[in-house]
């Protein structure tokens, strides 16, 4: 199994109280799955997302991804693992306004030692994959919200990670732009075997996921498998 969680628990102290946003969770996720996490505020969905992304570490239990037990890694080793294996897509894009789309996508590669030609190949390929190569020299202020999110997805893909974590990736978009972004994420999962973990509050966005996990008070209360495939026609128009 690509991702395997066993008795996964995260807790912290707040005054005299122990807060446990994730409570002994067991979960298996195959490679290339598109997983949507849903639940009320405080249900543990963002905590689970952060643990899988290597942003946080569990208090107890095991979290193995492709055979690597993240719970056993030191902070430095976890950061190194995260930079190679995880891409991030968030609601507010987080693009640098004084950089072009090309330069924004290139940013993560500047942390790695690689020839300029290889950086150019990866950036051009990522922009082309998300259908925005013709906007590569545009600044964020010259792009629509949907185009900015595509640039953000290209930036997440440019290091060639196996996992994309997405926190409300369509929350700031109009309906047509949101649909295009979700279709793109679906394609990345179904055609390129990227494993997508998405937190969302909007039930409509889960139509593009293969599985929907419902969490409440840190526990998994429902694991819903979707049998139908949404149409991806025109996903990257």
For residue 25, name the pLDDT band (cuts at 50, 70, 90): very high
pLDDT per position as a tens digit, 37-48: 999 999 999 999
Mean of pLDDT values over 198-218: 94
* Any domain includes 236: no
For residue 127, give the CATH number of its domain: 3.40.50.300
pLDDT per position as a tens digit, 160-205: 999 999 999 999 899 999 999 999 999 999 999 999 999 999 999 9
- Would the pLDDT of 228 be above 60? no
* Any domain includes 237: no
* Any domain includes 234: no
- Please give the share of the chain, as a percent, with pLDDT higher than 70: 95
Helices (H), 36-192: 45-52, 75-85, 101-106, 116-129, 145-157, 175-192
Would you state the pLDDT for residue 230? 57
116 or 230, which is more confident?
Answer: 116
Angle at 84 (CA atoms; ends 110, 191), nearest 5 degrees:
110
Rounded distance between C-alpha atoms, residue 219 and residue 44, angstroms: 8
* Any domain includes 135: yes
* Any domain includes 109: yes
- Would the pLDDT of 213 be above 60? yes
Provide the residue range defining the domain that includes 49.
3-225
* Any domain includes 121: yes
Q: Give residues with Cβ within 8 angstroms of 7, minimum separation 6.
A: 24, 25, 26, 60, 61, 62
Average pLDDT, the chain: 92
* Any domain includes 230: no
Mean of pLDDT values over 54-75: 93
* Any domain includes 232: no
- Would the pLDDT of 231 be above 60? no
**In total, how many domains does the chain have?**
1
Enter the pTM of the model: 0.89
Indicate if the alpha-carbon torsion angle 139, 144, 148, 154 is positive or negative: negative
Would you state the pLDDT for residue 232? 46
């Amino acid at each position: 199994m690509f991702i395997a969680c066993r008795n996964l628990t995260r807790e912290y102290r707040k005054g005299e109280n122990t807060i446990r946003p994730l409570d002994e969770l067991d979960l298996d996720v195959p490679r290339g799955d598109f997983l949507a996490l849903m639940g009320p505020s405080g249900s543990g969905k963002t905590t689970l997302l952060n643990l899988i992304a290597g942003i946080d570490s569990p208090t107890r239990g095991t979290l193995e991804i492709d055979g690597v037990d993240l719970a056993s890694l030191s902070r430095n080793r976890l950061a190194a693992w995260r930079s190679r294996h995880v891409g991030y897509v968030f609601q507010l894009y987080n693009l640098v306004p004084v950089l072009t789309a090309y330069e924004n996508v290139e940013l993560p590669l500047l942390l790695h030692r690689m020839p300029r030609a290889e950086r150019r190949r990866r950036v051009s390929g990522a922009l082309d994959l998300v259908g925005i190569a013709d906007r590569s020299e545009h600044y964020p202020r010259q792009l629509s919200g949907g185009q900015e999110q595509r640039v953000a997805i290209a930036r997440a893909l440019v290091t060639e990670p196996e996992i994309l974590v997405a926190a409300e990736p369509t929350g700031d978009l109009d309906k047509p732009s949101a649909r295009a972004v979700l279709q793109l994420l679906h394609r990345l999962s179904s055609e390129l075997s990227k494993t997508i973990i998405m937190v969302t509050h909007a039930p409509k966005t889960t139509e593009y996921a293969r599985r929907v996990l419902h969490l409440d008070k840190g526990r998994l209360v429902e694991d819903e498998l979707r049998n139908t495939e949404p149409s991806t026609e025109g996903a990257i128009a």
